[in-house]
Copies of this chain bind each other. A is one copy, B any other.
Amino acid sequence: MSEPDHTLPECPIARFLTVLEGPWATLVVRELLMGPRRFTELRAALPGISPKTLSARLKGLERTGLLTRTPYAEVPPRVEYELTEAGYRLQTVFTAMAEWAERDLPVR
């Protein structure tokens, strides 16, 4: 499950899981589907995530081409993370996940 990109598995479900590894990557994408976000905004939206984990997930998603990182030459410096077109197309998967969970996994 931890193969590098150039040996992505044949099965598309396994490929999906290799890239969206673990819950945090998925929750980071969920946040970014709402629009570009700064590092501090992502941290605030994801209680419990450590800066190290958030940084690692953002780097991984950038490497796979799902998001871009844009630094702005401001004081203080500002960096924005934004999904690429491929990243935004994950919306269909998230909608399917949410619809299934709303129906079949009610909050008790």
Contact = CB atoms under 8 A, between A and B. Distances in A.
B26 A17 contact: yes
Interface residues of A, number: 42
A70 interface: no
Given A6-B108, A12-B105, A13-B94, 15 more contacts: A5-B108, A12-B102, A15-B101, A16-B97, A16-B100, A16-B101, A17-B23, A19-B101, A64-B105, A92-B99, A93-B93, A93-B96, A93-B97, A95-B96, A96-B96
5 contacts: A12-B101, A13-B26, A14-B27, A90-B100, A96-B96
Interface of A: 1, 5-6, 8-19, 21-23, 26-27, 30, 48, 64, 86, 89-90, 92-105, 107-108
